[in-house]
Amino acid sequence: MSIKNFTGKTVIKNIRFSYSLLKQIEQVMAKEKTSNFSAWVKEACREKALNSSTPKDVNRNKN
């Protein structure tokens, strides 16, 4: 992992979205009147992780 992509609390991960998925995300964000893409993706990932695991398996901290 490159040092520039890591701090003590966060890490940068690059992800590629299909145009159709990005369009769906943007439509939902517009409906929710949300403009922070990063926060929206983090919350979606957090929800998926929590719904896929037992509570003790997932760190529920919102960092």
The ranges assigned to domains in the chain are 17-50
Buried/exposed 1-39: b ≥16 CB within 10 Å, e otherwise: eeeeeeeeeeeeeeeeeeeeeeeeeeeebeeeeeeeeee
What confidence score (pLDDT) does residue 8 get?
79
Beta-bridge mates of residue 6: 11
**How many angstroms separate the Cα of 42 from the Cα of each of 27, 34, 63?**
17, 13, 10
What confidence score (pLDDT) does residue 10 get?
87
* pLDDT over 80 (residue 56): no
What confidence score (pLDDT) does residue 2 get?
56
Whether the pTM exceeds 0.85: the reply is no
CA distance 16 to 33: 23
State pLDDT tens for residues 2-52: 556 767 788 888 999 999 999 999 999 999 999 999 999 999 999 999 999
